[in-house]
Structure 1
Amino acid sequence: MVQIFNQKNLSFEFERFDMPDFSSHTSPDLAQWVQSKHLQFDVRSLDPDKYSCPYHFHRNAEELFVILSGRATLRTPEGLTELSEGDIVFFGTGPEGAHQLYNHTQEPCRYLDIRTEIGLDVCEYPDSGKINVRPYGEIYRSESKVDYFDGEDKIREKWRELSEKPAQNR
């Protein structure tokens, strides 16, 4: 199947978040229209003086932005860079791929956002110390990390309890 999209023909839905500094207009998930197996993509329009999302990186998803019109400032671990129409930016997995956009201009900035979708992803937010298990949207504080064997010290008691119960027939 071949599907052609043109940004001039797309409709945009306003995404209002609980914090006024974050908002954008997003096209419906175009990848769902074509039933893509491993890509998610949409066109976003970032309003003046707004941030795209909290500064973050993915553990299991790559991302690519293509600036279609306007300008924005990109934040990465290397610092700030101005992006303009025609720029293509790739974000790899891990802390090196951390990113956030801010529209520092008086005009909207439109960009194509393409992401891999291969199951579970962990999205981390360095500024706030949060971890997001996607697609479930389960968000945790990173300082609650524990050792792999935390809480496993009573394994023999658990097995003793289980062995005292009658075995189930198969």
Structure 2
Amino acid sequence: MNNISNINNIPKEYMYDPDFQSKMKTVLIGDAIGCEKIYVNIDYVKPGAESVKYHSHSKQEEFFLIISGKGILRINGEEISIMAGDVISKPAGKDIAHQFINNSSEILQILDVGTRENDDITTYPDENVMYIKNKGLVFNISDNVKGWTSEPNE
């Protein structure tokens, strides 16, 4: 595997929806060139579409650069207008819910960089769901166990 490439030469196996038939295409640049501790993606979001479901991470740090287009960053219950050149940091462990929404007539292109964290808990507040990706576990937050304790002598 080469650790150097050109964005135009990334093989289709490192893309979600390489032919851009749905509302979003993602190019997994970091995976294609062998990044291990971080992921580096470019997301292409069509007009009227969302980048991901509204979510937060327990451990993962993320950085976003709006390469082209404009839209809305939904973050912690607020909606903020974003445009080409804007940079956004989402520090690790802050549980900052976020999502990009393309409310324009052009494609929103986002550089998305983040750390790869084992046992990171992704929370989807709109759906009341928690997801641990590396374990493939999904939980409904409403299904919590009442009266449980970790105390062994009770």
Residue 153 (structure 1) shift: 8.0
Number of aligned pairs? 144
Match of 2:150 in 1: 149
Secondary structure in structure 2 of the residue aligned to 1:120: coil
Measured at CA, do residues 13 and 131 of structure 1 come closer, stay the same or move farther in structure 2, by a change above 3 Å? closer
When normalised by structure 1's length, the TM-score is 0.73
Measured at CA, do residues 76 and 105 of structure 1 come closer, stay the same or move farther in structure 2, by a change above 3 Å? same
The percentage of aligned residue pairs carrying the same residue is: 22
Equivalent-residue separation in structure 2 for 1:141 and 1:41 (angstroms): 29
Equivalent-residue separation in structure 2 for 1:54 and 1:100 (angstroms): 6
Gaps of 5+ in 1: 16-21, 155-170
Measured at CA, do residues 9 and 108 of structure 1 come closer, stay the same or move farther in structure 2, by a change above 3 Å? farther
Match runs of 1:77-116 below 5 Å: 77=76, 79-92=78-91, 93-95=93-95, 97-116=96-115
Measured at CA, do residues 148 and 64 of structure 1 come closer, stay the same or move farther in structure 2, by a change above 3 Å? farther
CA contact (8 A) 2:3 2:34 kept: no
Match of 2:36 in 1: 37
Equivalent-residue separation in structure 2 for 1:142 and 1:60 (angstroms): 18
Secondary structure in structure 2 of the residue aligned to 1:40: strand
Match runs of 1:1-170 below 5 Å: 3=4, 5-6=6-7, 13-14=16-17, 23-27=23-27, 29-77=28-76, 79-92=78-91, 93-95=93-95, 97-146=96-145, 147-149=148-150
Letter in 2 for 1:84: M
Q: Which has the larger radius of gyration?
A: 1
Equivalent-residue separation in structure 2 for 1:4 and 1:140 (angstroms): 39
When normalised by structure 2's length, the TM-score is 0.80
Gaps of 5+ in 2: none
Equivalent-residue separation in structure 2 for 1:137 and 1:101 (angstroms): 24
Equivalent-residue separation in structure 2 for 1:148 and 1:52 (angstroms): 38
Secondary structure in structure 2 of the residue aligned to 1:31: helix
Residue 9 (structure 1) shift: 5.5
